[in-house]
């Protein structure tokens, strides 16, 4: 049973370019969460999605950031017109389709985004 | 929203000694408290968790205690080994959002 998959593992972009980060949840999991980790800090919640639905995006910046989890395929976190402050590790987590409030979230290996 | 505070930020222990990390949370509605271990450049790995209807849980050398009245929970690692060196994060779930503490860097000296 494969764990949460993320790609790419490392992504380098120049200021103004777009970054697309992909996350495939664990088999059987239908809840996906995205977190951002700045260097030497804890993880911060960004967005919570279920298939074809954004449940909570309160942690995501209002501009330039968007997320989706289509019926088919991985969840995508998209950052438009990246700036140096977007450099961070972006982690995806997933949990099964039960009571999400008390279910364990399993993390992927993360995508380390570097903006030059 | 939930606010999780974690202490200490760094902890150095002699191999074989115990390590204790403490966390407090602000929202009494939080009901699930996982602990994650993160090695440099790696993903956070769940090492133990506790739900709000339990006061203590143990798994080999790792134990977690929860005091709901005081809104604090602690991680205890006994007989520490060099491979325990990592950053440890406590977290609290309130409505599916994991709120993390700032992390504790644990160094086990051989």
Task: Chain A: give the shortest CA distance to residue B17, in Å.
Answer: 25
- Whole-number pLDDT of residue B98: 87
- Whole-number pLDDT of residue B74: 98
- Whole-number pLDDT of residue B81: 97
Q: What is the mean pLDDT of chain A?
A: 92
Cα dist. B103→A40, B3, B12, B72, B90 in Å?
A: 8, 13, 14, 15, 7
In this predicted model, what pLDDT tens digit does every residue of A4-56 receive, in sequence order? 999 999 999 999 999 999 999 998 888 999 999 998 788 999 999 998 999 99
Confidence of residue A101 (pLDDT cuts 50, 70, 90): low
With a CB cutoff of 8 Å and minimum separation 6, the contacts of A19 are: A11, A13, A78, A79, A82, A86, A113
Check B103 against A41: CB less than 8 A apart.
yes
Check A45 against B44: CB less than 8 A apart.
no
Three-class SS string for chain A? Answer: CCCCEEECCEEEECCCCCEEEEEECCCCCCEEEEEEECCCCCEEEEEEEECCEEEECCCCCCCCEEEECCCCCCEEEEECCCCHHHCEEEEEEEECCCCHHHCCCEECCCEEEEEC
Q: Which residue of A has its CA nearest to B49?
A: A104
- Distance, in Å, from the CA atom of A64 to the CA atom of B4, rounded to the nearest integer, reads 28
With a CB cutoff of 8 Å and minimum separation 6, the contacts of B20 are: B74, B75, B76, B77
**Structure-token pair, residue B88:** 């440890």
- Whole-number pLDDT of residue A102: 62
For residues A101-115, give the mean pLDDT.
88
Q: Which residue of A has its CA nearest to B44?
A: A107
Q: Is B42 on the interface with A (CB under 8 A)?
A: yes
Task: Chain B: give the shortest CA distance to residue A105, in Å.
Answer: 8
Q: Which residue of B has its CA nearest to A88?
A: B41
Confidence of residue A97 (pLDDT cuts 50, 70, 90): confident
Share of chain A above pLDDT 70, in %: 95
Task: Chain B: give the shortest CA distance to residue A52, in Å.
Answer: 18
Ordered per-residue pLDDT tens for chain B, 110 residues: 789 999 999 999 999 999 999 999 999 989 899 999 999 889 999 999 998 888 999 999 999 999 999 999 999 999 999 999 999 999 998 777 889 999 999 999 99
For residues A49-78, give the mean pLDDT.
94
């Amino acid at each position: 049973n494969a764990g949460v998959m993320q790609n790419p593992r490392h992504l380098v972009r120049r200021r103004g370019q777009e970054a697309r980060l992909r996350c495939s949840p664990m088999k059987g999991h239908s809840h996906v969460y995205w977190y951002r980790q700045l260097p030497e800090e804890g993880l911060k919640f960004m967005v919570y999605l279920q298939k074809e639905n954004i449940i909570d995006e309160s942690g995501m910046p209002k501009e330039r950031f968007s997320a989706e989890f289509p019926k088919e395929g991985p969840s995508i976190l998209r950052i438009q017109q990246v700036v140096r402050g977007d450099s961070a590790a972006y982690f995806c987590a997933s949990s099964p389709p039960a009571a999400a409030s008390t279910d364990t979230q399993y993390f992927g290996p993360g995508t380390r985004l570097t903006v030059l | 929203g939930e606010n999780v505070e974690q202490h200490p930020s760094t902890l150095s222990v002699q191999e074989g000694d115990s390590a204790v990390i403490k966390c407090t949370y602000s929202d009494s509605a939080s009901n699930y408290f996982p602990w994650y271990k993160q090695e440099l450049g790696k993903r956070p790995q769940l090492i133990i968790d506790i739900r709000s209807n339990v006061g203590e849980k143990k798994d080999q050398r790792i134990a977690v205690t929860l005091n709901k009245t005081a809104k604090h929970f602690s991680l205890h690692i006994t007989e520490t080994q060099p491979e325990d060196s990592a950053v440890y994060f406590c977290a609290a779930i309130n409505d599916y959002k994991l709120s993390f503490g700032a992390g504790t860097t644990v160094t086990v000296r051989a």
